[in-house]
């Protein structure tokens, strides 16, 4: 084999090695970039879930007039501002969270309301700071009264997202456009079961309305219904009732729900429960519950009280 042939073979081998090496390096870099990208996306996705969960708790606390929950989810001296139209002119109000919470605590005989989010537009920086735009609808007992667009800033305090500031625009819905929406009413009804205000639950019933749970004696009238709600709220200080679905047939509506909570009330077992059930409603002309017949698996409920969910 002459020298020219040897040199050609060597050069060919060297070029092949360099090409393979470059391809391997590029592949490694691509895998590294993809891994980093996946990690960032995973972190962002998890943070968005956490932020959305915190904001849903804040919206529920606002509608339930729950000053303690709002205090726990906000930084000290968090800022609140809103702007609205009055007599054709834009007005604005601003205050600290402390002033807002004091107004909540001082409010006499408040009525619950639902602030229903249409969407969450979330932007996160360094997994420490987040800005969120939240269009919402404000409704009371199933009747929408205004549209709002909230701009919230949240920041992490250790590993907990907390509210740093929130501001919003508010546009009232004209009286002639306000209509009763059973879905909004049901969602608000579910929300108030976690309010620690049993009177809020009773407000969704007619004055002479009734609530029967399984085969128990019906509770008739708002005072009696409030006592039923109080029994559950006392047993489960962290009670949450979520609406699973709403099904209407003829003159009856079934409200399907899931109850979760920890039995930390007086003489409680300390165990968590997660039970499903439904209430079958008769709604009167005023959009209030005239009669509710509630059902759930009482045997499974008692088992969870004694042993917890996972046993």
Q: Domain map of the chain by residue range?
A: 43-177, 182-307
pLDDT of residue 42: 64
How many angstroms separate the CA atoms of 309 and 177, rounded? 46
Percentage of the chain modeled with pLDDT above 90: 81
pLDDT band at 139 (very low <50, low <70, confident <90, very high): very high
The tokens for 82 are 């809103």
| Residue among 204, 258, 264, 255 at smallest CA distance from 229 | 204
2-20 burial string, b = 16+ CB within 10 Å, else e?
eeeeeeeeeeeeeeeeeee
Least confident piece of the model among 5-14, 98-107, 173-182, 290-299: 5-14
pLDDT band at 195 (very low <50, low <70, confident <90, very high): very high
Instruction: Look up the pTM and report it.
Output: 0.85
Dihedral pair phi/psi, residue 173, rounded to 5°: -85, 130
CATH of 43-177, one of 3.40.50.10860, 3.40.1050.10, 3.10.450.50, 3.50.50.60: 3.10.450.50
pLDDT in tens, 93-109: 999 999 999 999 999 99
Least confident piece of the model among 18-27, 73-82, 280-289: 18-27
pLDDT band at 297 (very low <50, low <70, confident <90, very high): very high
Q: Is the pLDDT of residue 60 over 70?
A: yes
Question: Quick one: angle between helices 3-63 and 182-192, nearest 10?
Answer: 80
Least confident piece of the model among 39-48, 51-60, 232-241, 258-267: 39-48
pLDDT of residue 21: 58
Q: Is the pLDDT of residue 11 over 90?
A: no
pLDDT band at 310 (very low <50, low <70, confident <90, very high): confident
pLDDT of residue 232: 97
184 in Cβ contact with 144 (< 8 Å): yes
Q: Is the pLDDT of residue 283 over 70?
A: yes
Q: Given the structure tokens 């070029």, which residue do they identify? A: 15
| Average pLDDT value for the chain | 90
3-state class (DSSP) for residue 236:
coil
- What's the mean pLDDT in 15-33? 56
- What's the mean pLDDT in 158-183? 96
| Residue among 150, 293, 155 at smallest CA distance from 216 | 293
pLDDT of residue 29: 60
- What's the mean pLDDT in 283-293? 97
pLDDT of residue 86: 86
How many angstroms separate the CA atoms of 212 and 218, rounded? 4
Q: Which CATH architecture has domain 182-307?
A: Roll (3.10)
The reply to whether 43-177 and 182-307 are identical in fold is: yes
How many angstroms separate the CA atoms of 86 and 75, rounded? 31
Higher-confidence residue of 22 and 44: namely 44
pLDDT of residue 24: 58
pLDDT of residue 5: 57
Would you call 145 exposed, middle or buried from its count of C-beta atoms within 10 A (0-12, 13-18, 19+)?
Answer: middle
The Cβ of residue 271 has, within 10 Å, a number of other Cβ atoms equal to 18
Query: Tell me, what DSSP letter sits at residue 243?
Result: E
234-257 burial string, b = 16+ CB within 10 Å, else e?
ebbeebbbebeebeeeeeebebeb
Q: Is the pLDDT of residue 117 over 60?
A: yes
Q: Is the pLDDT of residue 226 over 90?
A: yes
The tokens for 209 are 């309305």
pLDDT band at 19 (very low <50, low <70, confident <90, very high): low
Q: Which long-range contacts (CB under 8 A, 24 or more apart) does 268-271 make?
A: 268/235, 269/305, 269/306, 271/304, 271/305, 271/306, 271/307, 271/308, 271/309
């Amino acid at each position: 084999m002459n020298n020219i042939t040897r040199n050609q073979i060597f050069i060919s081998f060297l070029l092949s090695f360099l090409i393979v090496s470059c391809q391997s390096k590029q592949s490694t870099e691509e895998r590294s970039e993809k891994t980093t990208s996946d990690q960032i996306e995973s972190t962002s996705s998890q943070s968005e879930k956490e932020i959305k969960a915190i904001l849903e708790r804040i919206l529920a606390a606002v509608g339930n007039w729950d000053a303690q929950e709002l205090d726990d989810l906000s930084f000290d001296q968090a800022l609140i501002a809103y702007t609205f139209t009055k007599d054709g002119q834009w007005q604005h109000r601003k205050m600290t969270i402390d002033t807002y919470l004091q107004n909540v605590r001082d409010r006499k005989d408040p009525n619950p309301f639902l602030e229903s989010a249409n969407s969450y537009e979330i932007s996160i920086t360094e997994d420490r700071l987040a800005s969120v735009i939240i269009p919402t609808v404000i409704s009371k007992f199933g009747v929408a009264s205004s549209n709002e667009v909230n701009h919230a800033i949240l920041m992490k305090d250790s590993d907990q997202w907390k509210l740093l500031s929130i501001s919003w625009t508010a546009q009232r819905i004209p009286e002639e456009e306000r209509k009763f929406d059973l879905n909004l009413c049901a969602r608000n009804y579910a929300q108030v079961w976690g309010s620690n205000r049993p009177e809020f639950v009773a407000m969704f019933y007619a004055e002479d309305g009734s609530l029967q749970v399984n085969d128990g004696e019906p509770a008739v009238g708002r005072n009696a219904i409030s006592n039923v709600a109080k029994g559950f709220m006392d047993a489960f200080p962290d009670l949450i009732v979520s609406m699973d679905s709403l099904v209407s047939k003829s003159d009856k509506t079934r409200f399907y729900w899931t109850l979760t909570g920890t039995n930390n009330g007086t003489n409680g077992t300390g165990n968590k429960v997660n039970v499903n059930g439904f209430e079958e409603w008769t709604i009167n002309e005023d959009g209030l519950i005239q009669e509710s017949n509630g059902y759930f698996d009482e045997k499974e409920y008692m088992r969870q009280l004694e042993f917890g969910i996972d046993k």
